[in-house]
Amino acid sequence: MLHPKYSWKSLQSDEGKAKLLSEQLNISPLVASLLMTRGISDLNEGKRFLYGTLADIHDPFLLHGMKEAVARIKAAVDNGERILIYGDYDADGVSSTALMVHLMRRLGADFDYYIPHRSKEGYGLHIHALEQFHKNGFTLVVTVDTGISAVEQIEYANQVGMDVIVTDHHEPPAVLPNAFSLINPKLPYCTYPFKGLAGVGVAYKLALALLGEDTPLEWTELAALGTIADLMPLTGENRLIVTYGLKSMAHSAFPGMTALLGVAGCTKDEVTSTNVAFGLAPRINASGRMSHATRAVSLLTSTSVEEAESIANELDILNKERQLLVEDIANEALIQLESKEQAGNLPDVIVVAGEGWNVGVVGIVASKILERYYRPTIVLGINPETGDCKGSARSIPGFDIYEALTHCSDLMDHYGGHPAAAGMSLSREQLINFEQRLNEFASGKLEPEHFIPTLLTDLECPLQEITLPVIEQLEELAPFGMGNTCPRLLIRGVKLLECRQMGKEGKHLKLLVSQNGKTVEAVAFGKGELAPILASESVLDLVAEAGINEWNGARKPQLLIQDLCVSHVQVFDYRGSRYPATKLDELREKLVSISACSLGTMAIVSDNGADALMGIDLKQTAHWVYDYSAGVKPMNEIATSEGSAAVKTLFVLGLPESSNMWSKMIGKFGSLERVFLLHPKQREDHEVVQAPSREQFKGVYALLRKHGYQPIQQDELVKAMMGRTGLSRRMLDLTLDVFEELGFIIRTSRIITLNETPSKQPLESSSRYIELGMLAEMEQMLLHGGVPQITKWMLDQMQGAS
């Protein structure tokens, strides 16, 4: 058994409407159904989604403040004023700044740009920077991806005679700055139809307003990069902008973009939203996180191939350094949380802070902690000299972290962001109050269901339907990203044929699964730890994305697994191990590192013999032995204290003397998820029982009658019969047990006497005869059966026990 990481919920589609949409758009019913699950139900919406062009995007002048901004910028260019572009240090801010640089070059403006240092200055406009540029004669400031909450800073600019045009997309605060123009689709009085623009999206709209049809198509590349990196929804006009941007990237006119694709290992045929998100965006972000974001702006605005390649390599190195730094800080943060987790005191909103933590990567660390604990998470870096804390927040659906921070606004020096992610700064002295206030706010917002991550599935289908033509149809819905995820397919009841770890340190899984004769390869990234608890021949349910694996000119379907589960007890076959104690230690070591397992849920079951336990450390693992009356009984303190209900992983080191013991044991361990068979492949006495037959019993009884009615020692009798019947000593002993129960013989102190006047009784009326059959079945199964047969047999037993 393996529990899924997520709660799976299926999106619903109206089959009748989907069929009509399929006919109207001349698309497959499958694609039509997927459009329906994305909220697209009529012909015009479907056309815009599938076949929209840049001509379909909204008029930029619908954005409040755009008309005034355009007039002011044109006046500044005409009058030779110095214009400052003020950006942000993340990939959205860098893309926005780069796009504005290209715009100002196209306008022939006298300009410069400024991005604050992430760790030294922090997010947003800073008066000291505005003061410096004012001294240098700058009279107009155009912000990109920032500025909507810069009330004091813009008031300063007004006082010294600098006009400020704010282009932003972050949540507007209650008090807005008194800027010359505010352009933000989220302003409460802005009637712009699409609210999901990234910061670079708003900057692109400003470029369109200034240049109209003369706006270069390649600028959509910058807009696509920032939109994808900032996790904006790939719906509406974002979808159109990103679609054109990705197409343009494949033959980019920007040396920097080409160089960036090169270091990320993307070929022209591989420019997808996924590759941008995981290849390009992290390297752009690494500039601001590990050094200064101006290097990334230089990359995206460079006209020199040599310079672009040099900077791209530099950012690639920074990204590798960033990955190592994130791992170190994440480990430190997890150590802080371990004690709370073990004590069951993990708060609803996690707040962790550490001295010297690089504030450039705390957002990534927050994402990693959220992924592990599925709770809103804030990670802060503390300046040990000043006590200033700067951090980032990541949240879960249903909990608006920006709203939560607003509730604590009096404790912070600055904050800003979105419902799902935010940044803040505060004093070290406020950390305890900050965490307490956040959790007080969360107590009125978060319910138990919020802490269960949900995975939405688009449709359920068998493995046979996942063909190359179907996958190509699914790709019609690309580009994929937030708000338009790659279709997730629910596939139930596939058999696991092969499972192996792959990649660095075995972090990923490669599976081979089959169903009704169809076999498909599958990859599960980041799930390598599950390999030891996925048994061959197990039946899996999968949620997966379908892709195409191309190798040496061959193309075949491939599944990218998002989540998986096994709904039955799994059996792992290590029978006949030469050194079972060593194998047991090896298995325990592997399992204890898996989040789904723990030492407290593991147990060993054995017979009373000591040989099987030689060399096995039982100090940390519950030990049980077979028992006639209870099935099993505890043999050490752990087994007694934890109880049988806690056992999920069972190591079988020996077999019981009766099938009744086994059945009771199975019923006792009612929470079993996996069973590891480590017992020998044959009994120590080499004597097996076999399924009883009437002919066998008739033959043995006939020999007894020939012997007569004189008493005889059982051992002597059995020895004499072994050669004549071909039955083992153990089988004959058990046969005599049946005869005794039926009254055919009288046994006293192992002296056998044939009953002269036995009553006629059928063999089937003997409980020992029935038990002998069950014992034979058990031993045949556990000693010689295959894993699928053993699994089915055990499942039947569990159903009977329940």
Instruction: Check which CATH number belongs to the domain holding 756 and give it.
Output: 1.10.10.10
80 and 107 in a single domain? The answer is yes
Confidence of residue 435 (pLDDT cuts 50, 70, 90): very high
Distance CA 462, CA 493 (A): 9
Identify whether the C-beta of residue 779 lies closer than 8 Å to the C-beta of residue 685: no
CB-CB contact of 752 with 736 (8 Å): yes
Q: For residue 38, tell me if it sits in a domain.
A: no
pLDDT above 70: percentage of residues in the chain = 99
Section 763-770 average pLDDT: 90
**How is residue 765 annotated by DSSP?**
G
667 and 519 assigned to the same domain: no
E strand or H helix at 558, and its extent?
strand 554-566
Residue 802 has pLDDT above 60, yes or no: no
Residues 365 and 271 in one domain: no
In Å, what is the CA distance from 55 to each residue of 213, 293, 394? Answer: 10, 33, 36
Give the CATH number of the domain where residue 509 resides.
Answer: 2.40.50.460
**Which neighbouring-strand residues pair with 421?**
394
Q: What is the mean pLDDT of residues 522-549?
A: 94
Average pLDDT over all residues of the chain: 93
Question: What DSSP line would sit under 247-284, residue for residue?
Answer: HHHTT-S-HHHHHHHHHTT--GGG--HHHIIIIIHHHH
Looking at the structure, tell me whether residues 525 and 408 fall in a common domain. Answer: no
149-187 confidence digits (pLDDT tens): 999 999 999 999 999 999 999 999 999 999 999 999 999
- Give the mean pLDDT of 61-72: 98
Q: Is the pLDDT at 578 greater than 70, yes or no?
A: yes
pLDDT of 609 reads: 64
Say how far apart CA 722 and CA 713 lie, in whole Å.
14
What pLDDT sits at residue 684? 60
- CA dist 760 → 215, 270, 693, 699, 707 (Å): 103, 82, 18, 17, 20
- Regarding whether 163 and 68 lie in a shared domain, the answer is yes
158 shares its domain with 302: yes
Q: Count Cα atoms within 13 angstroms, Cβ side, for 148.
A: 24
Q: Considering only residues 553 and 26, tell me which one the structure prediction assigns the higher pLDDT.
A: 26
Residues 6+ apart with CB under 8 A from 421: 231, 363, 392, 393, 394, 395, 401
Token pair for 123: 């997010």
Residue 576 lies in a domain: yes
pLDDT of residue 610: 57
pLDDT tens column, 195-205: 999 999 999 99
pLDDT value of position 612: 63
Give the model's pLDDT for residue 706: 87
Predicted confidence (pLDDT) at residue 323 exceeds the cutoff of 90: yes
Among 659, 681, 703, residue at a domain's last position: 681
Q: Is residue 450 part of a domain?
A: no
CA atoms within 13 A on the CB side of 288: 27
Mean pLDDT computed over 670-687:
84
Cβ atoms of residues 206 and 66 within 8 Å: yes
Contact call for residues 201 and 195 (beta carbons, < 8 A) = no
Exposed, middle or buried by CB within 10 Å (0-12, 13-18, 19+), for 410? exposed
- Whether 722 is covered by a domain: the verdict is yes
Among the ranges given (340-344, 391-395, 486-490, 549-553), the one the predictor scored with the smallest mean pLDDT: 340-344
User: Which residue is associated with the tokens 């505890």?
Assistant: 634
CB 226 within 8 A of CB 100: no
Query: Rounded to the nearest 10 degrees, how much is the dihedral formed by the CA atoms of 494, 496, 502, 506?
Result: 110
Q: Residue 535 corresponds to which amino acid?
A: A
Judged by average pLDDT, the poorest of 52-56, 596-600, 665-669 is: 596-600
At residue 611 the predicted structure's pLDDT band, cuts being 50, 70 and 90, is: low
Residue 622 burial (10 A CB sphere; 0-12, 13-18, 19+): buried
Helix axes 199-211, 66-78, angle to 10 degrees: 60
- DSSP letters spanning 409-470: GGGEEEEEE-SSEEEEEEEGGGHHHHHHHHHHHHHTT--GGGGS-EEEE-EE--GGG--HHH
Q: Which residues contact 558 (CB under 8 A, 6 or more apart)?
A: 520, 521, 522, 523, 546, 547, 548, 549
If you compute the radius of gyration of the chain from its CA atoms, what whole number of angstroms results?
Answer: 35
pLDDT of residue 194: 97
Q: What is the pLDDT of residue 344?
A: 77
Three-state DSSP at 774 gives: helix
Residue found under tokens 């997309």? 169
Question: Is there a domain that residue 104 lies in?
Answer: yes
| Rounded-to-integer distance, Cα 65 and Cα 57, Å | 18
Asked whether residue 263 falls in the same domain as residue 378, the answer is no
Tokens 């004669």 found at: 137
Residue 41 lies in a domain: no
**Tens-digit pLDDT profile for residues 439-488:** 999 999 999 999 999 999 999 999 999 999 999 989 999 999 999 999 99
Written as six digits, the tokens of 27 are 């698309």
Helix (H) or strand (E) holding 747: strand 745-748
pLDDT of residue 508: 96
Number of domains making up the chain: 5
| Tens digit of each residue's pLDDT (9 = 90 or more) over 716-745 | 999 989 988 888 888 999 999 999 999 999
Residue 20: CB partners within 8 Å, gap ≥ 6? none
pLDDT (0 to 100) of residue 12: 87
Buried b (16+ CB within 10 A) or exposed e, 166-190: bbbbbbbbeebbebbbbbbbbbeeb
Kindly report, residue by residue over 504-524, the tens digit of the pLDDT.
889 999 999 999 999 999 999
DSSP helix/strand/coil, 209 = helix
pLDDT at residue 572 is higher than 80: yes
Residue 637 domain-assigned (yes or no):
yes
Whether residue 618 lies inside any domain: the answer is yes
Same-domain pairing of 157 and 299: yes
Measured between alpha carbons, how far is 378 from 720 in angstroms, rounded to an integer? Answer: 80
- Verify that 356 and 310 share a domain, yes or no: no
Residues 183/201, Cβ–Cβ less than 8 Å: no
Structure tokens at 628: 């006639």
d(CA 584, CA 653): 9
Local confidence band at 413 (pLDDT 50, 70, 90 cut-offs):
very high
Please choose, from the candidates 724, 753, 721, the residue with its C-alpha nearest in 3D space to the C-alpha of residue 740: 753
At 643, which CATH number? Answer: 3.40.50
Residues 561 and 579 in one domain: no
Strands, DSSP E only, in 589-711? 602-606, 622-627, 631-634, 649-652, 674-677
Last residue of a domain, one of 566, 591, 611: 566
Does residue 97 contact residue 201 with C-beta atoms inside 8 Å? no
Q: Exposed, middle or buried by CB within 10 Å (0-12, 13-18, 19+), for 432?
A: exposed
**Which among 79, 64, 96 is positioned nearest to 139, based on CA atoms?**
79
Range of the domain at 83: 58-318
- Which positions ≥6 away from 422 have C-beta within 8 Å? 392, 393, 395, 401, 402, 405, 415, 416
pLDDT given at position 416? 87
Element at 639 (helix H, strand E): helix 637-642
Of the residues 541, 566, 591, which one is the last residue of a structural domain?
566
Are 408 and 366 in the same domain?
Answer: yes
**CATH number (domain holding residue 406):** 3.10.310.30
Domain at 198, CATH number: 3.90.1640.30
Helix 255-263 vs helix 294-301: crossing angle, to nearest 10: 120
Share of the chain above pLDDT 90, in %: 81
Q: Which two tokens stand for residue 482?
A: 């937030």
Length of the chain: 802
Q: How far apart are CA 308 and CA 497, in angstroms?
A: 47
pLDDT digits (tens, 9 = 90+) for 373-408: 999 999 999 999 999 999 999 999 999 999 999 999
Dump pLDDT digits (tens) for 698-709: 999 999 988 888
CA gap 689, 684 in Å, rounded: 13
The answer to whether the beta carbons of residues 658 and 775 sit under 8 Å apart is yes
Region 264-287 average pLDDT: 93
- Check residue 798 and give its pLDDT: 85
**Residues 558 and 590 both lie in one domain:** no
Q: What is the pLDDT of residue 685?
A: 57
Mean pLDDT calculated for residue range 250-254: 95
